[in-house]
């Protein structure tokens, strides 16, 4: 037994940490309870466990484990368990006002399902208890309004200077697609597109979101490089399919982020296999094992293998992404597991910012 039977005695903090370190979870590292700020004790004696990343599933698992320990006879003291997402450093760049962490989702190649992944990742982070924004960085081909079912809506303004993000499914969103009519093609050169993106970032009133998911435009050209260089990016997620052609471009994307000193959290293999809607048979129609090998070769984490299924496409086309419209489905579970990995790995691989947070704007 870790704790004595005398309920009037306050347990030692080190004993509590040693006890909690017995609890293991995929989102935690060994000795997690000993890490700074994870387990604290107030002068009043109150014991608190505070997870600095989106951790709804983790918190429930910890509570269940504690109940199991109590059933086994352990006299566990009262614990306050909470989630308070910490802002992490983005190189030497200060944070953007109203945003704690920025996650860019990149593919380097179009047509691999990057935007679908971005939207469902953002929704899954919200389902994990975080406050989440999503920004459509594709100036030439914005798709966020269709995917969120917000086509035709426009950001409002409260002060005449900044835009209030469009809310949908609990997300705070902005996109050039809200500001320019559908029939107007974007025929801007690179500098104009970069300036438009900078305005979206600087003039959006982000309401203290824990994570801002940025759906990057496909490619690795000047625009993508300048966005990655100017934007205080916490980390990147690279989306690919098992196809050799897509993998080749994904590798270029990883190299691009390395050049601008943006850490890559890992790889999402989208359309990993096709699920027949009639019989449920799995078939790797785009190949097999490509993203696994890529992740291994480049020392990256394989964050998820997302199936190709008609319902995922139908949901996104209807403006009701799978995580929002079918939260109990097996497809939603894949995205929820992805969000759990992204949030935890982002924290464990990152570094907290100082309490004094300075604010930056993205240069045009």
Classify residue 160 by its DSSP letter: S
Q: What radius of gyration, in Å, describes the C-alpha atoms of the chain?
A: 22
Per-residue pLDDT, 25? 98
362: pLDDT strictly greater than 80: no
Asked whether residue 164 is domain-assigned, the answer is yes
- Together in a domain, 73 and 102: no
pLDDT tens digits, 151-186 = 999 999 999 899 999 999 999 999 999 988 666 555
Taking the alpha carbons at both ends of the chain, their separation in whole angstroms is 61
Task: Give the confidence band of 358 by pLDDT, cuts at 50, 70, 90.
Answer: very low
**Domains contained in the chain, number:** 2
Of 38, 60, 83, at which residue does a domain stop?
Answer: 83
Question: What value does the mean pLDDT take over residues 250-275?
Answer: 88
- Together in a domain, 100 and 75: no
Asked whether residue 8 is domain-assigned, the answer is no
Of 61, 83, 105, at which residue does a domain stop?
Answer: 83
- Together in a domain, 79 and 99: no
Task: Give the confidence band of 108 by pLDDT, cuts at 50, 70, 90.
Answer: confident
Asked whether residue 179 is domain-assigned, the answer is yes
What is the rounded average pLDDT for all residues in the chain?
Answer: 88
Cβ neighbours around 179 below 10 Å, total: 15
Domain of 165, CATH number, reads 3.40.50.300
Per-residue pLDDT, 297? 87
Of all helices (H) and strands (E), which one includes residue 64?
helix 56-71
Asked whether residue 89 is domain-assigned, the answer is no
- Together in a domain, 347 and 309: yes
- Together in a domain, 71 and 190: no
Q: 139 with 186: CB under 8 angstroms?
A: yes
Asked whether residue 262 is domain-assigned, the answer is yes
Cα 25 from Cα 51, distance rounded (Å): 13
Q: 9 with 26: CB under 8 angstroms?
A: no
pLDDT tens digits, 306-348 = 988 899 999 999 999 999 999 999 899 999 999 999 999 999 9
The angle at the Cα of 102, spanning 133 to 237, to the nearest 5 degrees, equals 105
- Together in a domain, 76 and 109: no
pLDDT tens digits, 71-103 = 999 999 999 999 999 999 998 888 899 999 999
6: pLDDT strictly greater than 70: no
Cα 90 from Cα 357, distance rounded (Å): 12
- Together in a domain, 220 and 261: yes
211: pLDDT strictly greater than 60: yes
Q: Which residue has the higher pLDDT, 91 or 115?
A: 115
Instruction: Give the closest residue to 103 by CA, choosing from 353, 343, 316.
Output: 343
- Residue 264, helix vs strand vs coil: strand
Residue 112: which domain range?
95-360
- Together in a domain, 156 and 118: yes
125: pLDDT strictly greater than 90: yes
Asked whether residue 5 is domain-assigned, the answer is no
- Together in a domain, 57 and 140: no
- Together in a domain, 246 and 289: yes
Asked whether residue 135 is domain-assigned, the answer is yes
The angle at the Cα of 308, spanning 305 to 310, to the nearest 5 degrees, equals 145
Question: What value does the mean pLDDT take over residues 106-121?
Answer: 90
Of 83, 109, 140, at which residue does a domain stop?
Answer: 83
Asked whether residue 204 is domain-assigned, the answer is yes
- Together in a domain, 102 and 131: yes
% of the chain at pLDDT higher than 70: 91
Per-residue pLDDT, 289? 77
Cα 117 from Cα 106, distance rounded (Å): 10
20, 53, 80, 222, 317 from 32: Cα distances, Å: 8, 13, 17, 41, 41
Name the phi and psi angles at 126, rounded to 5. Answer: -65, -40
- Together in a domain, 211 and 300: yes
């Amino acid at each position: 037994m870790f704790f004595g039977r005398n309920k009037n005695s306050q347990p030692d903090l080190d004993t509590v940490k040693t006890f909690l370190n017995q609890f293991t979870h995929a989102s935690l590292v060994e000795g997690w309870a000993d890490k700074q700020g994870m387990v604290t004790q107030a002068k009043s004696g109150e014991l608190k466990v505070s997870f600095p990343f989106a951790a709804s599933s983790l918190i429930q698992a910890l509570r269940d484990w504690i109940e199991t320990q109590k059933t086994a006879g352990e006299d566990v003291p009262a614990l306050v368990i909470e989630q308070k997402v910490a802002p992490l450093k983005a190189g030497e760049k200060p944070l953007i006002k109203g945003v704690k962490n920025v996650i860019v989702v990149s593919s380097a190649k179009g047509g691999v399902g990057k935007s679908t992944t971005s939207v469902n990742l953002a929704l899954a982070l919200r389902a994990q208890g975080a406050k989440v924004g999503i920004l459509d960085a594709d100036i030439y081909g914005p798709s966020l309004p269709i995917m969120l079912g917000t086509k035709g809506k426009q950001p409002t303004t409260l002060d005449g200077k900044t835009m209030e993000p469009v809310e949908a499914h609990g997300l705070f969103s902005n996109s050039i697609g809200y500001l320019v009519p559908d029939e107007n093609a974007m025929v801007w050169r690179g500098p104009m597109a970069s300036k438009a993106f900078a305005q979206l970032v600087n003039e959006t009133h982000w309401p203290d979101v824990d994570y801002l998911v940025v759906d990057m435009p496909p490619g690795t050209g000047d625009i993508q490089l300048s966005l990655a260089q100017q934007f205080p990016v916490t980390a990147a997620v690279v989306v690919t399919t098992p196809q050799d052609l897509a993998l080749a471009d994904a590798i270029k994307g990883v190299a691009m982020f390395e050049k601008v000193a943006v850490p890559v959290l890992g790889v999402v293999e989208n359309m990993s296999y096709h699920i027949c809607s009639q019989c449920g048979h799995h078939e790797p129609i785009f190949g097999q094992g490509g993203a696994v090998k890529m992740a291994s070769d480049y020392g990256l984490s394989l964050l998820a293998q997302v199936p190709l299924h008609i319902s995922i496409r139908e949901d996104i086309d209807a403006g009701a992404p799978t995580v929002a419209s079918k939260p109990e489905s097996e497809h939603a579970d894949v995205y929820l597991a992805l969000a759990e990995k992204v949030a935890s790995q982002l924290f464990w691989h990152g570094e907290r910012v100082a309490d004094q947070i300075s604010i930056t704007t993205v240069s045009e």
